[in-house]
Chain A
Amino acid sequence: MTAVLQVADYSLDYELPSGALHVLQNIDFSVGAGEVLGLVGESGSGKTTLGWAIMRYLAGNAREVGGSISLQGENLLAMPQRQVESLRGGRLGMIFQDPSASLNPTLSLGEQVVEVLTRHRDLGYRDAWALGEQLLADVDLKDPAAMMKRFPHEASGGEKQRVLIATAFACRPQCLIFDEPTTALDVISSAQILQLFRRLREETGVASLYISHDLALVSRVADRVCVLNQGRIVEQNRGGRIFTAPNDAYTQRLVAAVPAADKRLLNETEAGGVPLLQVAALNVRYGQPSLLDSLLRRDRQPSMGARDMTLGMARGEILGIIGESGSGKSTLAKALTGLTPFTGAVQFDGVKIHGPAQMTRDYRRKVQIIFQHPDASLNPRQTIGQILSRPLRLYGLPAGESEAQAIARLLREVRLPENFASRYPHELSGGQKQRVAIARAFAARPELVICDEITAALDVSVQATVIELLLELRRQHGTAYLFITHDLNLIRQIAHRIAVMYRGDLLEILPAVDMAAHARHPYTRALLDAVPQPLTELEQLDDA
């Protein structure tokens, strides 16, 4: 099979004042017609840069050191700019990560579809518009005529991505590069997008390069997978093989870190302990009407952050909360820590709480929270030591320890060097910052730690170490976790029970082990079907 896209020994440097940075080194792969090649890497691996380099979109200080990139035998590096521009979006297309960010917010969807079609299909405006409507119908979008006139903010992420994919395919590409196309979408929309992608691929025989950080997903989508580590391809193989028999050390670490529902990290299946937290009929209302709206007496329907939530937790239990963005899962976290007012009854350790005002210092000590973005949750103007000292000063030092000793101990517990106490957050990596946040939470000697998507912003290998740390700390201190996430595979590894949330409603609470057997709500079932599991060698990429 002749290759449609051939990258041969390609290397790219960035010229920095401090010297040359080798971003890509000796990249070598090819993609044939109808084939999907997956490109997997963590942040800093160079995968996105490679995608852009193929599209000939280079930064001002980029230097191509050697090698070639060929499309249907033509070397793109030798091509004049004008010819490259006519290629882009036509024979060589790209689908971007965030459909909301890659569409101009002030132009209608139709306009943006038409301009691409007129550019590459040599059509007039009207014909292009008609074709656009037809494309939208082909990808099962309701009411294509109206959708064409809508603006990007009036369509959902999944809808927009479908429009973009349809448009790209309509320009008869020979090769398409997909740059994390489903990362910004919810799981169910992602599954639909991937189905659409499969169908169009089979119809057109296009060669695809699928870039992602999600190894499990890529193994299900791609025929072959390349693993990229710091600019080098360290392994290239069929998806199933990568998971079952990785050769390279980095790949092995990566594969071990990927969450899989059947790889339990927690040995217990049930938490047998006294009840710790009881939430009954919790309601959180968002959207305070503004001054003027009240004056005009306009009825601004309040959006419900959480509706009638009822759940309970035992001491030392790990309760997972799973849901997409907008499901209200973070709302529960905010309510329990007094960051948002709520109605309903919360009983914690025997004490009844009806609102933030009733949260005593003791309560606040026992219930701690860790946030998603480590950059934002540590004050950039304070040292690590200052950050860790606050809870110690608020809640008191443990007996027999000075503040400095306590800080040193906390850092040791989260496996950070003691001299980090004098550093500032910007000197630490994302994973290290998150560990500081964990240390800060544990400085209070809490009984419940709420983890609000704490690994969502981290690379998968870093995520694995953070999870391992959390489980270790739980073994030491017997802390309960309320673990909020959108990653179903992850939570199935570590939770006792899992609560499923959708649009502010708590749908059901299921045991984590054997979740599929107990799932009753159609949304839960759809979720379980949609989440990709890593491919094993025994399975083939079938047309399921």
Chain B
Amino acid sequence: MKSSIQFKVAAFLTLFLIHLPTLAQEDMPTEPSATVYSKSAAIRGKSFYLINCQQCHDADGRALANIDFIAADLTAPDTWYYGATPLHIFRSIKFGAGLEMPPFKDSLDDETIWQIVAHVLNIGPVELRPKEE
């Protein structure tokens, strides 16, 4: 099951390769945590998401209500600018992205960030959602 998801993620990555920024970053893992494939991790990640992310991205991830700036629609990874793989999502959360997305490296540990990544995947396209119990 995991390899199937990884294949689809890889295919998705290929589609948007031109947009992907480098992942080179100190303290940046080279492989995604197995957490991102876990449905239970996604459920835990939702709580952390609601505390840390919904102010900009809204509770449903679509960022329709944000009046402060244009935040990414987390349900539509084909519109993202800073990468859509689990590693890229992890990097954006941990180190920030663009002008506005703040880094959370000082307030969230890696495991929590991976759980949020799992939640973000879980509200996106069906084929990318965590499948493992």
A binds B: no
Footprint of A on B, CB under 8 Å? Answer: none
Footprint of B on A, CB under 8 Å? Answer: none
